[in-house]
């Protein structure tokens, strides 16, 4: 499933409406899971599997159709004791990407691809003012 910035926001709006009207967080998690459940993407992998892609180039498709190469530089496990106390289990991690030069991106949803994985859409968030390093958070937490 291809997700553009526009339908990503529209889908999240629909998910929020479902959450408010019936079923709370679990309904939202189910909707978001349907959005991102695509076999053989970063979203279907655990942190250890994603670590095998460190050092590889990922192409992020820009609005004008051009692509910008990003390199996966690091995979960090995100562990919060509060999640366990609240009854959540599973894994959460962040993947850190860097541009190869001085090129930068704005925060947004980009179609990503790399050898060995299916194309997927991901929200990339800059981690610094230069906008040359980005974080993608993958959350496999559940109750």
Q: Are residues 66 and 87 in the same domain?
A: yes
- 33 and 45 in a single domain? The answer is no
So what's the pLDDT on residue 29? 42
94 and 127 share one domain: yes
Same domain flag for 32 and 53: no
- pLDDT tens across 57-115, in order? 999 999 999 999 999 999 999 988 888 888 888 899 999 999 988 888 899 999 999 99
Co-location of 24 and 70 in the same domain: no
Residues 19-56: tens digit of each pLDDT = 333 344 444 344 344 444 457 888 999 999 999 999 99
Same-domain pairing of 31 and 45: no
Domain region containing 27: 1-37
Secondary structure, 3-state, the chain: CCCCHHHHHHHHHHHHHHHHHCCHHHHHHHHHHHHHCCCCCHHHCCHHHHHCCCCCEEEEECCCCCEEEEEEEEEEECCCHHHHHCCCECCEEEEEEEECCCCCCCCEEEEEECCCCCCEEEEEEECCCCCCEEEEEEECCEC
pLDDT at 123: 96
pTM above 0.85, yes or no: no
Question: What's the domain count of the chain?
Answer: 2
Question: Which pLDDT score is estimated for 46?
Answer: 93
The neighbouring-strand residues paired with 87 are none
């Amino acid at each position: 499933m291809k997700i553009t910035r526009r339908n990503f926001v529209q889908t999240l709006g629909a998910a929020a409406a479902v959450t408010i009207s019936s079923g709370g967080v679990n309904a939202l998690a189910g909707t978001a899971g349907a959005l991102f459940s695509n076999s053989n993407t970063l979203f279907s992998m655990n942190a250890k599997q994603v670590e095998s892609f460190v050092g590889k180039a990922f192409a992020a498709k820009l609005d004008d159709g051009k692509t910008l190469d990003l390199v996966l530089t690091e995979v960090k496990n995100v562990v919060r004791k509060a999640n366990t106390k609240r009854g959540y289990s599973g894994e959460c991690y962040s993947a850190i990407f860097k541009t190869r030069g001085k090129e930068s991106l704005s925060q947004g949803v980009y179609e990503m691809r790399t050898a060995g994985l299916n194309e997927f859409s991901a929200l990339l968030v800059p981690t610094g003012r230069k906008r040359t390093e980005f974080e993608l958070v993958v959350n496999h937490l559940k109750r």
